[in-house]
A = this chain, B = another copy of it.
Amino acid sequence: MRIAQVAPPFESVPPARYGGTERVVSTLTEELVRRGHEVTLFASGDSRTSAILVPTVEQALWHEKPPLKDFAPYWAITLGHVWEHMEEFDVVHSHLDYFAYPMARAGVRPVVTTLHGRLDLPEQQPLYRHFRDVPLVSISDAQRRPVPDANWVATIYHGIELDEFTFNPQMGGYLAFLGRISPDKGLDTAIRVARRAGVPLLIAARMPLPHMQDPNVQVDWAYWENEIQPLLEGRQVELLGQLAGKDKDEFLRNAAALLFPVRWPEPFGLVMVEAFACGTPVLALNCGSVPEVIEDGVTGFVRDTEDELVDVLDRIAELDRTRCRAEAERRFSPAAMADAYERVYARIVAHDTPEATRLRVSTAAGR
């Protein structure tokens, strides 16, 4: 099949370090190429891929210096590149959030979009009232909840490159936190939980982005200064900075458990699955995708409060590290993800989705 994968232009595919969307796009692209598909990847020019690369920008925009002020023109540029080549594909797979919806409606080839973000913000409601026709893939069932009537064609969990993670049957001596420094990810909770239980916590964290004009970035910096920095004083908690590759593998596999105390509607949570791949179970707050990813009492503990997380810290040994790795291989492998996407592509190309019907109805209704 001739498949276009369309990534955002902000981070390379795969990402230099942080960038969940770009990591998944890379994993899926490599697996599809391995299966013999003719894959074209639209991504920043510093991407590395076995597919044909169409560079949408010279280098990933997050790394531009000085930082760019306005990213909006680059969505148009990315779409402009895809339109130039659209007829060369059987199916276009967009990772551009809603920016490709007009193209999905009007394109000469079918376009399916995987949503990588949260959908519970108020602006999403008019968007999905209008775009009932464009076919969508969710990355967890929880992600769909705010917009149940959109044209969902499948939930497909992310796959990760399992070879990059080493199974360790032995439970390590510290708790691990890995993620952005952002209130969403709950690092403050992780620190308090570890302190209260008297267990060492190692933190592999990405600092907020330098784009101070972005209000979300401002929130993250304020969180860092006001809530995290004061908590870092004293022993037992160590900040390692951002980890990738072998360092990340080592960090995750030698932990007793990963702490994942999110307090936002986490759409997927790639790091949970990366921990599983090392055999490391996950202790998480019950938000978004968490109960879909973790089997409570087997591959981790899912709890509702900080207090309850403290309570399970002395029960980590009950969890099954072998089962964690097995679940990663069964549910979160590149093969499992690519199998599911191949089925979606086939349905979209055959117009075997609700969208075909809905679009006809919508056009017939006219204005």
Could you list which residues of chain A lie within 8 angstroms of chain B, going by C-beta atoms?
A: 54, 57, 68-70, 72-74, 76-77, 79-86, 98-99, 101-103, 105-108, 121-124, 126-127, 130-131, 213, 215, 362-363, 367
- Docked Cα-Cα span, A345 to B57, in Å, equals 32
Whole-angstrom CA separation of A77 from B105 in the bound complex: 11
State whether A367 touches B85 (Cβ < 8 A). yes
| Residue of A68, A122, A367 with most chain B CB atoms under a 10 A cut-off | A367
**Contact between B54 and A76, CB atoms less than 8 A apart:** no
Cβ–Cβ contact A80 & B123, under 8 A? no
A363 and B69 contact, CB distance less than 8 A: no
CB pair A123–B363 under 8 Å, yes or no, is no
Q: With contacts A74-B126, A127-B73 known, is A80 near B105, CB below 8 A?
A: yes
> In the assembled complex, which residues on chain B have CB atoms less than 8 Å from the CB atom of A82?
102
Considering the chains assembled together, what is the distance between the CA atoms of A105 and B87 in angstroms? 14
**Chain B residues within 8 Å of A76, by CB:** 98-99, 101-102, 127, 131
Report chain B residues within 8 Å CB of A102: 76, 79-80, 82-83, 102-103
Choose from B73, B124, B127, B363 the contact partner of A124 (Cβ within 8 Å): B73
Selected A-B contacts with CB under 8 Å, 23 pairs: A68-B122, A68-B123, A73-B126, A73-B127, A74-B123, A74-B126, A76-B99, A76-B101, A76-B127, A76-B131, A77-B127, A77-B131, A79-B102, A80-B130, A83-B105, A83-B106, A84-B363, A85-B367, A86-B106, A102-B103, A103-B106, A106-B108, A213-B215
Complex: how many Å from CA A131 to CA B362?
31
Q: How far is the CA of A105 from the CA of B107 in the complex (A)?
A: 12
Query: A80's contact among B73, B121, B131, by CB below 8 Å, is which?
Result: B131
**Cβ of A107: which chain B residues have Cβ within 8 Å of it?**
106
| Most B Cβ at <10 Å: residue of A54, A76, A122 | A76
How many Å lie between the Cα of A107 and that of B6 in the bound state?
A: 20
For the complex, what is the distance from the CA of A266 to the CA of B363, rounded to whole Å? 42
B123 touching A70, Cβ below 8 Å: yes
Q: Which residues of B contact A106 (CB under 8 A)?
A: 83, 86, 103, 106-108
Taking the closest CB of chain B, its distance from the CB of A51, in whole angstroms, is 13
| Docked CA distance A122–B68 (Å) | 9
Q: Give chain B residues whose Cβ lies under 8 Å from the Cβ of A363.
A: 84
Q: How far is the CB of A261 from chain B (nearest CB, A)?
A: 26
Evaluate contact between A130 and B77: CB separation under 8 angstroms: yes
Q: How far is the CA of A81 from the CA of B131 in the complex (A)?
A: 10
| Docked pose: A57 CA to B129 CA in angstroms | 11
Q: How far is the CB of A219 from chain B (nearest CB, A)?
A: 10
Docked complex Cα distance between A108 and B102 (Å):
13
How far is it, in angstroms, between the C-alpha of A106 and the C-alpha of B70 when the chains are bound? 24
A194 to B83, CA, bound (A): 54
Contact A367:B54 (CB < 8 A) given known A77-B130, A106-B83? yes
Cβ of A84: which chain B residues have Cβ within 8 Å of it?
A: 105, 362-363, 367
B70 lies within 8 A of A121 (CB): yes
